[in-house]
Amino acid sequence: MPALSEQTILDCLNQIRDPKTGRSVVDLGLVTGLVIKGGNVGFALEIDPKDAPEMELLRKKCEQAVFALPGVTSASVVLTAEQKPAAPRAAAPGHGHAHGQPQGQPQTVAKPTVPGVAAIVAVASGKGGVGKSTSAVNLALGLQSLGLKVGMLDADVYGPSLPRMLGLKGKPQTKDGKKLLPMENWGLKVMSMGFLVEEDTPMIWRGPMIMSALQQMVFDVEWGELDVLVVDMPPGTGDAQLTLAQRVPLAGAVIISTPQDIALIDARKGLNMFRKVDVPVFGIIENMSYFLCPSCGERSDIFGHGGARETAKELGTDFLGEIPLHMEIRQTSDAGTPVTASAPSSAHAKIYRELAAKIQEKIEAGLGIESGPRIIIE
Ligand code: ADP
């Protein structure tokens, strides 16, 4: 199969016309930032922010047309708009524009909201195995213990672990044949690919399949009224993560890292990914930060300690706190009885609650600023 050329994509887009003017998106000069990587194609349509709702249709048409081209395995189109020089900047707290931001690439992304869900928070990590899912579950339960209605979406399609960590089995039901009802345990409403496919089944995902599965898990689930939907992101910073961060109206992201240098390098990548798509990073949490000996109480900094705090400072984001490496956390997490819910008066539950309170503060500060449809202007 010959490599895809820019011209092929532009020829295809030349057929897509703006219904208002009857001119093609190429003629109108709307297409910017075309990137072709193997079979993955991405570009932006530069629009006036006030046209965002009608341009969404055009965006979809472009995406479908490009996706239908032979050799294209994924097509990702976003709406962008140049910021008017005098317009005030709609920035949320913790939103460090000064760092790692691509310069001179104005971007506006209009994202559909999820009905009934007030805020969506991503829990992410630059790589697997750092305790992202364990932390996400306990932070969700911590938010719940603060009186919030909380849901969880397991977006880790490669290794969905929420069913096991939350002790959930069975298949989600549907009321109307269109929307899935989330499963429930420990007071959380949960949706996971793990409910639909056995945990041990190897899953081979192509980019567009991941996106359509994830989009359905966000938008085609009857979440009801939620204060927060916590998304356990797939580990890493590949296309699936980036597209998810672009498509889902995230109020912010929390990055989980272990103290080792290597994990922190990955954490930086995660942080920069969210910044690139203008999602506020609430901060970094250091997991498996230190070891408290259960018999003598002595503290050991097995992986070194404090790396995440320093990285957070360097990167201009908040350091939210530390979670120790402890058998109780592992056992309860792997047994489907997460510590924050099963032992709410334990020291570990308290740590997760305190971290959750910081996240709640960030969410609320952000909601105070954002109103109406989320159009993010870079
Ligand atoms: P990830 O989602 O980053 O792949 P998991 O949350 O699945 O990581 O955690 C990997 C393993 O580490 C699990 O067995 C989990 O129980 C354990 N774990 C995570 N955080 C801690 C911790 N703070 N103390 C002890 N074990 C932990």
**Whether residue 84 has pLDDT greater than 80:** no
What pLDDT does residue 206 have?
60
What pLDDT does residue 235 have?
85
316: left (phi over 0), alpha (psi -120 to 50) or beta: left
Ligand 1 centroid to residue 138 C-alpha, Å: 11
CA atoms within 13 A of residue 258's CA, in its CB half-sphere: 18
d(CA 148, CA 132) in angstroms, rounded, equals: 21
d(CA 93, CA 369) in angstroms, rounded, equals: 9
**Whether residue 260 has pLDDT greater than 50:** yes
**Whether residue 64 has pLDDT greater than 70:** yes
- List Cβ neighbours of 313 (8 Å cut-off, separation of 6 or more): 319
What pLDDT does residue 204 have?
60
What pLDDT does residue 114 have?
87
Report the pLDDT averaged over residues 9-30. 92
The H-assigned helical ranges of 220-299 are: 239-247, 261-276
Tokens found for residue 77: 């189109």
d(CA 215, CA 213) in angstroms, rounded, equals: 5
* pLDDT tens, position by position, 114-157: 889 999 999 999 888 899 999 999 999 999 999 999 999 999 87
Residue 287 CA: which ligand 1 atom is closest? 23
* pLDDT tens, position by position, 236-257: 887 778 888 888 889 999 999 9
* pLDDT tens, position by position, 291-341: 877 788 788 887 777 788 888 888 889 999 999 999 999 999 999 999 999
d(CA 317, CA 101) in angstroms, rounded, equals: 13
Q: Taking the CA atoms of the chain, what radius of gyration do you get in angstroms?
A: 21
SS3 category, 123: strand
Q: Which residue has the tokens 């760092």?
A: 99
d(CA 74, CA 374) in angstroms, rounded, equals: 25
CB 348 within 8 A of CB 339: yes
The reply to whether ligand 1 has any atom less than 6 angstroms from the CB of 326 is yes
288: left (phi over 0), alpha (psi -120 to 50) or beta: left
CA atoms within 13 A of residue 378's CA, in its CB half-sphere: 23
Report the pLDDT averaged over residues 100-121. 64
The reply to whether ligand 1 has any atom less than 6 angstroms from the CB of 138 is no
The pLDDT-based confidence of 102 (bands split at 50, 70, 90) is: very low
Higher pLDDT, 102 or 210: 210
What pLDDT does residue 140 have?
98
175: left (phi over 0), alpha (psi -120 to 50) or beta: alpha
Ligand 1 centroid to residue 121 C-alpha, Å: 19
Task: Supply the residue whose CA is at minimum distance from atom 13 of ligand 1.
Answer: 330
Q: Which of 97-111, 173-187, 205-219 has the lowest mean pLDDT?
A: 97-111
For residue 352, give the amino acid letter.
Y
